[in-house]
Structure 1
């Protein structure tokens, strides 16, 4: 992959340095994707004046490559010519302030599979012509999918070094999507590279603040929780307090997050606030990690854990059901219940339980695997296949479940 600082593309002189460094092989996957999308030439959907004849020529070469490029050699020749004349216009004819020059250069670079070049050119075009942001965003969205999917494929093959390359490329290419920074954060968190993970969790949350789609909200919630946990691991207690408080505005019934908030409050020296929260949770005021008398919901939870670990799945499911009446979003209990029903071969109950787990932990590979097993039990072949497709498309996750008694 070509690594070019964006600043090299901001001036005509810098552009010369950038062109000299174009050594990476083209991304044929990206080139094919944009070619399939642009089977017919589309002019800019924003107000752009080509101005200089070389910029107009570059746009014409792009049109020729798209509409008359059935022969690959001719298509590549037209694209190369388009890149050459626009490069000359920018470098030799004072067109470095012409948004149209950068816009058409970006589109040509995409068709040539030069993602880094297209990214730099589009950024320059958008800076000069903000009204073109939506048009440029259209091309960013189209190309984003194959880049992100390639990263996911590498992740599933346990090739995290290669996955990181593509996730970083995807995150830089289309920062409006939270998927790439979320998966980057998860990989770094799993590798105990907490500082890098926090950077990308921050980027994830920034990308989710506008989009209110259900899938985006789920990523936001999981990123918010994971970020808060990492801050406690880093012992950045005031930051952890703020992170848990923010997360709890989104998921107010998450008992695990409340316990994390108590721990962070106390460690940050906010004992009064910690004690007030402890009373709500039924733990002793002196130590947020020390349980009160094991009765009520805590006793039900511990009973579920003990039965589950003993493979007494009927008792585990019953105790988990009882506990979840009090804490319906507890991940561990939801997992134990779903897994227990699968082990008991109770398909409908297992499907319902797995869906409840997915509602709380939507990026969980384990939860989807349990749902697929449940649909197999109920012989719901279509739903089982759809679940397998969801599982195959699932991004990397650090969500995990450990069954241990409360206070252990």
Structure 2
């Protein structure tokens, strides 16, 4: 029978891990899970406040999703994308039920990176332009154009694609615009974006690509009016607006799509993660009627062998139906308003290490600092100690830079959310 030590040894000896120096790895082996909880091979149980990579929105091993995958595997395990597929069509229809009316079709991919890759391709094709404007504080995936559209450190060793320009988005806590209010931050960030468009040459800009709520970059909920202002700039200059909902969509922000609470409708929506909680790799681009019909008589120069894979499509259909049937989106919104938001605010009153709390739904971040006055980020050693303490106490955390992200599955209960806050409170106290 496997134990933690043997599984970890086998993993480290044969698996090459992403974003890691291979020699110092010490991965936590996981053996199983259910709902918001997972357990290791030695029998220790953890409350999953990471949702793995902020994608297990429906929770672990949801029986309806597992059953749908098993049923589809028995019927037809794979089919080439050139063929018509009932389950693929059903998945597209289920997704489109929750989008604005202007959206007509879904182009399926294997994940979020290639969703963004193909959305960029569509924008360039329909506009005949090249440049893509995205933000420095962002993550869009680890493929050619997506990683260069990304704004964080992972872009720098991977900058092989061309035609990418970056801007600063609103982030009042560490404002790049000397702003003192959300209104100032919004106005100045939009002015900055407009000026970049103008000096780059509007006739050369194909797309503005933004995460509706930047996730890995810090769960930076935009101030009221920002995304609407971006929409206005895009319309003025004939630019395609792509909103990346890979992390923020499908209940994570307490809405089907995060932009739905922000008075804006994009031209293309990219998704992955929460659409089926990663049970089978799946992503895609939700395409507006105007862009979809631009390819009625011309070939779209993109495709993937596993586009709309039947096992992935079946898992998406079952997941969306469970979301609808069980009120999972509504639960995420309520938990954020009634439990996580107020609870994290109380932790900020108690612990000086918390510089700022921000978020919505089941999508929250604690920005941790060594000094509230200077806002000096908590050192990596402090974040490491916090993470170690949380895991030891039975909570699986998600940390990035100087932040602790509070991102449980959207099915989390009041009691589980409260227990998670208690464990975070204890760990912060140990700092």
**TM-score, with structure 1 as normaliser:** 0.23
User: In terms of Rg, which structure is larger?
Assistant: 1
Tell me which of the two structures has the higher relative contact order, counting C-alpha pairs closer than 8 angstroms and 6 or more residues apart: 2
Q: Which has the higher strand share?
A: 2
